[in-house]
Structure 1
Amino acid sequence: MKKRWIIILAAVAAAGVIGGCSNPQKSGVSALEKGDYEEALADFEEMTQSGDAAEGYRGLGMTYYEMEDYENALESFRQAAENGAKQTIQMYNLMGICAMQTEDYKSALDYIQSGLALMSISDGADKADEDLVQEMKYNEIICYEKQADWENAKEKVTEYLEAYPDDETVQKEAEFLETR
């Protein structure tokens, strides 16, 4: 997850450079990298008020996510999308994880599936790495299980194991689902 986190931070910083954002974004990303969440929140909040709301909310979402404040992270990511942030596989994954952490498995499933759907239309700039795809497909199974949708969970486990046959955790999930 750390590798992906660095990639996401780099994407936010690059978006700011490309978009001509000023110091709050650079300062916010730097503060976030250092773990200075209060400074990061202040910088990203300033961005939401000063014209780059989409990236400001995305930064707030990542900061809250890192703070394990999943409700505020999810709301910030939603605000980022509403304010025109580029919708990426990575953002949908984070939204799905946040929804799972708040036990809203229906919404989590929607976010995960929306992110996975982007894979077919994604260009090279934000293509998901295979570890991210695997994580999202695993979380998709968990969301179905948490909603007691055993048939869809079984179908997704079968698809998952065709792609990742050596995953012992999901092999155990498959055994569990056979009892349902």
Structure 2
Amino acid sequence: MKKKLLVIGLSIYIAATMVACGGHSQKEIDLRDQGVEALDAGDYETAIKLFDKALSCSIGKVTDLEIDINYYKAAAQFKSGDFEGAAATYEALIKYDGDNYEPYFLRGSIYASEGEVGKAILDYDKAVEVDKKNYLLYIEIYENLDSLGYTDQGKVYLNNALQISDKSAEAGYYKGRINYMLGQTSQAQELLQKAVDKDIVEARLYLAKIYQDQGDYDKAQKLLEEYAKSEDVTSEALATLGDIEMANGNYENALGYYEAGLSLKSIDNMPDLLKGQVSALEHLGRFTEACDALTQYLESYPNDEVAKKELIFLQTR
């Protein structure tokens, strides 16, 4: 998981460090690692306690290790529902890691999730001020705001990113991607094609999306197959390949792509892959396997009412 998910008052721990165990002690590192294990396992309260114990082992000087532990602690606080505590942790991180955009971005995301969009935008503005040419940051801010219903506010960040003076190939790729997000297809296609020509691997994925939207599945598939062979392949690309194969009636190939996506260590679109897998299995007439896969999906996403109805259907086959 990303440590950049959320953190707290380092100052709280500094007061306790005078009687603690010393610098980068192995105990501090071990407690940090145990806390991360608990966090990954979903035991957030235990994780917070372990991170507190780890921080009590510092000697008063805030180092990269203490900052790292606090990022993890904030993530555990956020996931446990302690939004106020997580925001306070990020506030402290701003003091000690203020040259980094992350504490501003993460605290802003907490404010946005709590409906305090004014405070969120103040933090988001500070984040992009710290890292002006971080195009992915502008995209993530937009996606956060859009998912919470603040689409117009989010589009401001996308449009601001397009105004950045930057002639690099990478900038062209990101600006093409942003144009695509804004529905400006012709500009997106032109910029993404230039990025592909300059061998920006990920540009193939977004140019393929444009071709797919246009119904040109052959061009989309060619680009995605090239992308799938790269070391940078993502679960999103494999899901898109699966979708194209489904549209073309190649259900076995589609299933292979979905399952390849599910086998990756880093998966950003688990629901899409699982639902794609279920659909491919259904089309192949493998209803028992589809039922098992959909049951697995609902264990992770129990609020999907459409999937619940589909499971009832599959159970009658």
Q: Does the TM-score normalized on the shorter chain lie above 0.5?
A: yes
C-alpha contact (below 8 Å) 1:60/1:73 kept by paired residues: yes
Matched, 1:145 2:300: no
2:180 to 5, 28, 32: 32
CA RMSD of aligned residues (A): 3.0
C-alpha contact (below 8 Å) 1:44/1:60 kept by paired residues: yes
Residue 97 of structure 1, CA deviation? 2.0
Residue 90 of structure 1, CA deviation? 1.6
**Bigger Rg over Cα:** 2
Q: Which residue of 2 aligns with 1:93?
A: 239
Q: What is the CA–CA distance in structure 1 between the aligned matches of 2:233 and 2:211, rounded to whole Å?
A: 18
**CA offsets, 1:60-113, max 9 Å, x none?**
21322344544432321112233x350111221222222222222212211111
What is the number of residues matched between the two proteins? Answer: 156
Q: 1:34 to 1:165 in 2, by over 3 A?
A: closer
Which residue identity is paired with 1:174? L
The structure showing larger relative contact order (alpha-carbon pairs under 8 Å, at least 6 residues apart) is 1
Runs of 5+ in structure 1 lacking a partner?
14-19
Structure 2 length normalisation: TM-score?
A: 0.42
2:273 to 136, 147, 150: 136
C-alpha contact (below 8 Å) 2:204/2:223 kept by paired residues: yes
Structure 1 length normalisation: TM-score?
A: 0.69
Q: Trace 1:52-131 onto structure 2 (pairs within 5 A).
A: 52=199, 54-82=201-229, 84=230, 86-118=232-264, 121-122=265-266, 127-128=267-268
Q: What is the CA–CA distance in structure 2 between the aligned matches of 1:159 and 1:33, rounded to whole Å?
A: 31
Q: What is the CA–CA distance in structure 1 between the aligned matches of 2:143 and 2:244, rounded to whole Å?
A: 19
Runs of 5+ in structure 2 lacking a partner?
1-141, 147-157, 162-167
Q: Which residue of 1 aligns with 2:315?
A: 178
Greater fraction of residues in helix: 1
Q: 1:176 to 1:39 in 2, by over 3 A?
A: same
Residue 153 of structure 1, CA deviation? 1.1
Runs of 4+ in structure 1 over 6 Å off: none
Q: What is the CA–CA distance in structure 2 between the aligned matches of 1:71 and 1:135, rounded to whole Å?
A: 22
Q: SS at 1:40's partner residue?
A: helix
Q: What is the CA–CA distance in structure 2 between the aligned matches of 1:96 and 1:149, rounded to whole Å?
A: 17
C-alpha contact (below 8 Å) 1:25/1:43 kept by paired residues: yes
C-alpha contact (below 8 Å) 2:173/2:200 kept by paired residues: no
Percent of aligned pairs sharing the same letter:
25
Q: SS at 1:103's partner residue?
A: coil
Which residue identity is paired with 2:259? Q
